[in-house]
Each structure stands twice: as C-alpha cells, then as structure tokens.
Amino acid sequence: MTRPMHVLPNRIDSDADSVERDLFKLVLTVIELIRQLMERQALRRVDEGDLDDVQVEALGQALLQLDTAMAELRGRYGLTIRDLNLDLGPLGTLLGD
C-alpha cells in the first residue's frame, strides 16, 4: 500500500512582523538557554571554591548585566520568559519550570 502524499502549500501565510518576531523569539530562546547554563556553571564554580572574591563579584555583575539585557530585549517584542520556554512534548520544557 502506498501512503497518500501530503502537498505542502506554495506559500506560507506570514507577514514580515510575525516572521521577525518569531525569529527574534528563537534567537532569544537560544541565548536564554546559554545564559542559564552559564549561570549554573558559575554557581558550581563558586560552590567548589574555584573563584576568589574578586572573580565571584565580577561574575555576579556580568550575570546581572546579562539578565538585565535579556529582559530589555524581551521587552522590545513584548515577550516574557515563559514565551521563550519551548514545549518539547514528552521531554518537558526547554528551560525548565
């Protein structure tokens, strides 16, 4: 038996604004994932005592600035952190809860 072939539309219904917003959302999602991984790595290094007080302070300031910048960028497109948390189906959400 042969399966029926699904025909894709010649054009996708979209406009420039939605494409731009969706692309921006995807980029911010990747950046947020990396930011959270960096934050976890930094906390692990602090907990293990790998950093001196100056390094801990500098790392804290850098992470705070990155968090502020991310909030600013999300605000430009009216996105929340929940908007960036992609649902991966049975795997759960990308950024956790």
At residue 40, the pLDDT reads 92
At residue 72, the pLDDT reads 94
Confidence of residue 21 (pLDDT cuts 50, 70, 90): confident
Number of domains within the chain? 1
- Residues 35 and 66 sit within 8 Å (Cβ to Cβ): yes
Max alpha carbon distance in the chain (Å)? 69
| Residue 15 forms part of a structural domain | no
| Residue 3 forms part of a structural domain | no
| Residue 11 forms part of a structural domain | no
Side-chain half-sphere of 65: how many Cα atoms within 13 Å? 6
Whether 55 has a pLDDT exceeding 60, the answer reads yes
| Residue 88 forms part of a structural domain | no
| Residue 57 forms part of a structural domain | yes
Q: What is the mean pLDDT of residues 27-40?
A: 90
- Residues 73 and 21 sit within 8 Å (Cβ to Cβ): no
Amino acid at 15: D
Q: Going by C-beta distance under 8 Å and a sequence separation of 6 or more, which residues neighbour residue 33?
A: 94, 95
Parent domain of 63: 21-83
pTM over 0.75: no
